[in-house]
Structure 1
Amino acid sequence: MERWRRAWREGGMEGLRSVGPANSPTITDAQFAVLEEELGRGPAARGFDDERWTLVRVQVVIRRCLRVSLSVATVWRPLKRHGWSYPHRALGG
């Protein structure tokens, strides 16, 4: 609440104007290379019970290895951007 008050005091109505959506976390190309290496080791190597990748499992790997928190819905974006297809490579189809 204080942030809004300060914005009002410092900039009036213009200070309250939206500057667009907040930036969601993203993964750099260098981070993706690390992720791809980890995914290449397979789910069992990361402590999962079987050899299937799911978006939730990829999310866990991203959080543990890269220390980046992405929503499950957002996890798919870097995979798709780097040419992973559903379900063959991304989810171990």
Structure 2
Amino acid sequence: MAKATKTIRQALQYPPQSARSFAEHQALYNRVVAFYFEVIQAHEGLLSLKSKEALTALEKLTHATEKCIVFRLQLLQEYLRLQKTSAQAKSKRVSMRT
């Protein structure tokens, strides 16, 4: 017998300073997606592989080497900076509540 479910819709509420963090995370996400899109375009044969095989091939293609390490380091530095700013914003919100 089917079980009845109920969907609850609630608007998200967040502090105004979080908007900047959201925008930065979105920009980073878009850069990563663009990078992988370029890799797939350059290696169209990936599209004919099964999921696991394609993932393995992508990992091999994007593994840090002297040739591609600069871009990966830039992404890592940007990610770490975003994590740091998010943690700082969170600690500010906590300290404002007390």
TM over 0.5: no
The two structures have a TM-score, normalised by structure 1, of: 0.25
Q: Which has the higher helix share?
A: 2
TM-score normalised over the length of structure 2: 0.24
Q: Which has the higher contact order (CA 8 A, sep 6+)?
A: 2
* Higher Cα radius of gyration: 2
